[in-house]
Structure formats: structure tokens, C-alpha cells
């Protein structure tokens, strides 16, 4: 299977994009805030952006080498690109959109059936739903029979109900294709569901690359931790002789961790590691914080409960059993082993 290699350097509005990527069969998700340079990476690989310097190859075939003045045109690069807004031609039917740029026109009807849009073949993009437009855009990208697939925020235009359904369908499709895929998103849940590896991009540079579980288990810095969904509470850390580290929080109070870190830190704990109770549990190894509930956000059969500087994720059964109400005090607890300490600059 082909391997895509990209080394890119390019000035953006307030910083330079500087990164190196290598993607074999499977999906790499680039996540990060808006304006971090993620979409510029896709545009450079597709040939829509010529970087200041760089080199892009697919299994040794050079698409770009600025030092040698090689720059293969977009139509000669074996790339399928799905734009954030899908960029379908509004005046063309679904069939003609998919057929546009297809290397094998005979494969179009097969793609329409594969994506369950055969019945929409004569409809125009304005007459179909967001999920259906996404399928048309994917079918059009694959009609080129590409060696690399690039997806720019493929789920951002969908409502939450459609998004969950299409996310599952897209996961299955990407696993079936076995192509090098680069997916750009600002949503870590999308990245964790769809990608084998996730690269966190901040101001044009990759902060950390790993599997979704690796990024959650061992984030390299506070930004990665927050992006993967962790609570971050700043404070001052001092290790003690018992093998624990005391953290005096900026918001007041003291917490404990087993991480041997000293100085300014962000105490990091994930919502699912935080338990809620009406009273302080009888467990000296657990951190406790009592504060009023600021908000309760339902998430299917679970709920996010904001308590002081922390957010806990608990079952809706727990919300009902504890009779949790906004404004009422509750105790948020978590173990010292769940409290990771990340140095703050």
C-alpha cells in the first residue's frame, strides 16, 4: 500500500506552517483550533497551495519538490478531496457531480449505489439533505480512483443527529478503503472515532501524534490535554516525602497527585474519572471538592455536570439517584492516581 510523505514550510497569517507527515494505509486526523494551518496541509498535498518550501511524495513518486522546481498539477495528483462545504456544483445533478473528473465514467452508477444515493441521481444539491450531500462529495472524490483521500472537516456541516449516523458510516468506509487518508477536524470525538492516529496541530506545528488512547493517557502538554477533553486546574506543586505531590490550586484548596512534579502545573483529570456524591467519601486517597452545580448537560444516557472548576461525566441514573440540581452543592471526587500534572510555562 502507498505511503504519503510530506515536508512543508509555508508562512501563514501570524506564524509559519512547519511540519512533516508520513501516512500509510489508515487514517491520520489533524486536530486543533481554527486557523492552526490544518486545511493548508490538505491544500498543499492536493496541489492547490504551493508552499514556500517542501517535498511531497507518494511511494517515491514526487508530487512536489521546491528545491528541484517540481510541482505536479492538481489534476495529475492521485488525490480525492472532500471540501468542508462539499463544494458541489449547484447546477449539476447528483450523477453529473459524481461523474465530474471521474477516471472511469462506468464506475459512477456503482458509486451512487454504494453510497445509497442512486435514487437521487437526477436531483440537484439544493434538493437533498446535508448527509446526502456529504455522500455525494465522497462519491465524487472516490470517482477519481485516488491513491490518497483528503477530508476537510467532513462532518462540520451536519446537525448532531445526522453527524452521529454519518460518523459511523464514514468510519466503516475508511476502514474498507485501506488508503492513506488525512482528515482535518476541530472535534476530538470525530478524530477519535475515525482515525488510527491523531496529530494535534497548534500554530502550524504538530504538538503530539499518537493513537487517540495514547493522547488521552499521556498528553504532552496542557493544550493537548484540554483538546482531548480533560479538566485543567492551575496551581503550584510540591512533592512530599510520602511519594505524593501537593498541589495548591489557584482557585483555592489543595489536591494531590502521584506525579513527581514541582512548580507551576495544570492539574489534569478527565470528566469520567470524577465521581459525584452528596458527602465527602471516606477515602484518604481521593481528592475532594465541594461546590454548587453550575450546569447539567445531558448527553444521551450520560450527563456532564459542572462543579466549580471541574466537569464530571456521570450516568443519568446517577443524576436521578443523587437528585442533582443546578445551584445545589455537591462533592466532586477523584483519585490521586487520576490527577496528572503537566508543567505550565
Predicted confidence (pLDDT) per residue in 35-52, tens digit: 899 999 999 999 999 999
Number of other residues whose CB lies within 10 A of the CB of residue 209: 18
Q: Which of 189, 222, 255 is the last residue of a domain?
A: 222
Same domain for 204 and 74? yes
Question: Of 222, 249, 273, which residue constitutes the final position of a domain?
Answer: 222
**Containing structural domain, residue 98:** 4-222
Q: What is the CA radius of gyration of the chain?
A: 24
Q: Identify the CATH number of the domain in which residue 321 sits.
A: 2.40.50.100
User: Dihedrals φ, ψ of 238, to 5°?
Assistant: -140, 115
144 & 163 share domain:
yes
Helices (H), 179-315: 188-194, 212-217, 222-227
Q: Give yes or no for a contact between 246 and 234, defined as CB atoms under 8 angstroms apart.
A: no
3-state class (DSSP) for residue 30: strand
Final residue in a domain of this structure, among 177, 202, 222: 222
Whole-model pTM: value is 0.89
pLDDT in tens, 59-99: 989 999 999 999 999 999 999 999 988 899 999 999 999 99
The verdict on 77 and 178 lying in the same domain is yes
pLDDT at 182: 97
C-alpha distance from residue 92 to each of 41, 44, 87, 123 (Å): 29, 27, 12, 8
The low-confidence residues of the chain, meaning pLDDT below 50, are none
**% residues pLDDT > 90 (the chain):** 79
Q: 201 and 85 in one domain?
A: yes
Residue closest to 132 by CA, chosen among 148, 147, 112: 112
Strand partners, 329: 292
Same domain, 269 and 327: yes
d(CA 334, CA 311): 12
- CATH, residue 79: 3.40.50.300
Amino acid at each position: 500500500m502507498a505511503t504519503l510523505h510530506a515536508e512543508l514550510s509555508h508562512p501563514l497569517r501570524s506564524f509559519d506552517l512547519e511540519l512533516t507527515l508520513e501516512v500509510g494505509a489508515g487514517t491520520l486526523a489533524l486536530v486543533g483550533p481554527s486557523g492552526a494551518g490544518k486545511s493548508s496541509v490538505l491544500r498543499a498535498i492536493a496541489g492547490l497551495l504551493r508552499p514556500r518550501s517542501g517535498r511531497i511524495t507518494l511511494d517515491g513518486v514526487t508530487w512536489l519538490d521546491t528545491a528541484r522546481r517540481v510541482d505536479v498539477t492538481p489534476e495529475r495528483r492521485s488525490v480525492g478531496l472532500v471540501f468542508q462545504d462539499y463544494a458541489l456544483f449547484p447546477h449539476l445533478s447528483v450523477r453529473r457531480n459524481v461523474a465530474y473528473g471521474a477516471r472511469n465514467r462506468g464506475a459512477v452508477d456503482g458509486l451512487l449505489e454504494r453510497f445509497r444515493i442512486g435514487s437521487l441521481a437526477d436531483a440537484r444539491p439544493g434538493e437533498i439533505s446535508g448527509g446526502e450531500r456529504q455522500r455525494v462529495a465522497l462519491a465524487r472524490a472516490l470517482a477519481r480512483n485516488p491513491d490518497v483521500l483528503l477530508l476537510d472537516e467532513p462532518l462540520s456541516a451536519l446537525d448532531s443527529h445526522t453527524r452521529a449516523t454519518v460518523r459511523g458510516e464514514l468510519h466503516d468506509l475508511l476502514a474498507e478503503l485501506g488508503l492513506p487518508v488525512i482528515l482535518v477536524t476541530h472535534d476530538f470525538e470525530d478524530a477519535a472515532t475515525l482515525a488510527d492516529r491523531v496529530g494535534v496541530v497548534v500554530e502550524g506545528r504538530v504538538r503530539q501524534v499518537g493513537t487517540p488512547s495514547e493522547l488521552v493517557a499521556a498528553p504532552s502538554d496542557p493544550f493537548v490535554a484540554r483538546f482531548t477533553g480533560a479538566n485543567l486546574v492551575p496551581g503550584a506543586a510540591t512533592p512530599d516525602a510520602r511519594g505524593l505531590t501537593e498541589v495548591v490550586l489557584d482557585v483555592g484548596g489543595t489536591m494531590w497527585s502521584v506525579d513527581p512534579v514541582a512548580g507551576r502545573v495544570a492539574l489534569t483529570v478527565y470528566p469520567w474519572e470524577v465521581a459525584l456524591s452528596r458527602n465527602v467519601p471516606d477515602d484518604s486517597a481521593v481528592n475532594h471538592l465541594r461546590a454548587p452545580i453550575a450546569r447539567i448537560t445531558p448527553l444521551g444516557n450520560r450527563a456532564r455536570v459542572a462543579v466549580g472548576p471541574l466537569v464530571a461525566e456521570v450516568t443519568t441514573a446517577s443524576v436521578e439517584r443523587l437528585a442533582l440540581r443546578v445551584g445545589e452543592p455537591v462533592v466532586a471526587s477523584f483519585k490521586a492516581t487520576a490527577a496528572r500534572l503537566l508543567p505550565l510555562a
